Amino acid sequence: MLIQEGLARIEFEELDEVFFNPRGKLSRSFGVLGIRALSRALGEELVVADAFTGVGTRSIRYLLETGDAVAGVHANDSSAPALEFAIRNARLNGVIERMKFHCLEARRFFWRSVEANRFYHFIDIDVFGTPMQFIPFAVNALKRQGAIYVTSTDTAPLCGINRKAAFRNYGAVTENVEFCHEAGARIVIAAVLSASARQAYVARPLFTLFDGYAFRILMMMERGRKSFPHKEIGFIFRCPSTGEVKAVKQHRLGTVDMECPSELQAIGPMWLGDMHDPEFLKLMLESLSENWFDERDRHKLKRLIKTMQMEIDMPPFFHDLSVLADRIGISTPRKMDMVNALRREGFRAGVTHFSGTGIKTDADHITLARIARELVT
């Protein structure tokens, strides 16, 4: 089967869905934008590692679609049949000279890179389930300043559906609440941050994407220990009966004081800082307007990044309007009506890419319920 994605032509056997997932397209496009922006931010051509390359789609797109941002790509996969397709596809797309191939278990690949004195600016970790066991190895294969593009498909555990797995993989407590996907992304960020800190790297998120299937987070990593942002890590508490939600930083945990007729839900530890770097999102938007081959894709990506910009400097959770309407027994108000009404009253309010029915605001739950009632009656 031959498909076209971006500028890449990719051949694979239909049975090999394990190695090529069409649902990964958005994350690959974000990878392209991330690489363009990172190369500009660092002022360098990047050496890239695609540690779980499958049939090579990411590597090839990164080479074909980033101009001169990429010096070369090391593509790895532990599956020999997948790698054979990756090599064939690299040849088909005319990029084989700029690639090196490895057929190793990913941890061994990273370790061999270190032994060969080969360090990367950008490492892509796109594996099923949790990426956490690979983080310490990947971080050691980074240059002093570089980025790791982490995928986690653990959406159910991170949404409180398999709490044991969430605790095992991320050391976190999860709940199946309306904003669980945002909370899940924040838990992954905190877990990557701690795992990298143990390897003497300080991490911060450049962008955080939930594509409906997986979390895709680009984390900047810099060697050092001093600036570890422990105060940006904390918990979210939610009262299921009143809908009140509070984010509490870890050094303020003793101050939690919420009136709740039912048992409080606690979620975390998680990253409570911004999920995106505003300057980095700007660089991504700039590089998107320079050249992108598909107008429909460009439009979709631009809209998504603009929504992410609205998530910056907002509380680390959102309110789902249908959950709110159910709780107070009204019909669901229209999203933009709510946002505009909140803004008219002087609150900050905006939409979120995590949910089509969610809004972010600094208004409290009582104000939110009052405005919703006023809008639908």
Chain residues in the site for ligand SAM (CB under 6 A): 18-21, 24, 28, 52-54, 57-58, 77-79, 82, 105-106, 126-128
Closest to ligand SAM by CB, 123 or 236? 123
Kind of pairing, strands 201-210 and 233-238? Answer: unpaired
Closest to ligand SAM by CB, 64 or 82? 82
d(Cα 74, Cα 95) in Å, to the nearest integer? 12
Query: CB–CB of 288/301 below 8 Å?
Result: yes
Minimum distance from residue 29 beta carbon to ligand SAM (Å):
11
d(Cα 273, Cα 234) in Å, to the nearest integer? 10
Closest to ligand SAM by CB, 80 or 116? 80
Closest to ligand SAM by CB, 131 or 269? 131
Structure tokens at 328: 């107070």
Report how far apart, in Å, the C-alpha atoms of 290 and of each of 6, 217, 285, 307 are: 15, 23, 9, 20
d(Cα 191, Cα 219) in Å, to the nearest integer? 12
Minimum distance from residue 270 beta carbon to ligand SAM (Å):
25
Minimum distance from residue 256 beta carbon to ligand SAM (Å):
39
Minimum distance from residue 103 beta carbon to ligand SAM (Å):
9
Closest to ligand SAM by CB, 59 or 352? 59
Residue type, 259: E
Minimum distance from residue 162 beta carbon to ligand SAM (Å):
20
Closest to ligand SAM by CB, 78 or 250? 78
Minimum distance from residue 52 beta carbon to ligand SAM (Å):
3
DSSP H helices in 312-334? 321-328
> Which residues does 273 contact at the CB level (< 8 Å), separation at least 6?
204, 205, 229, 232
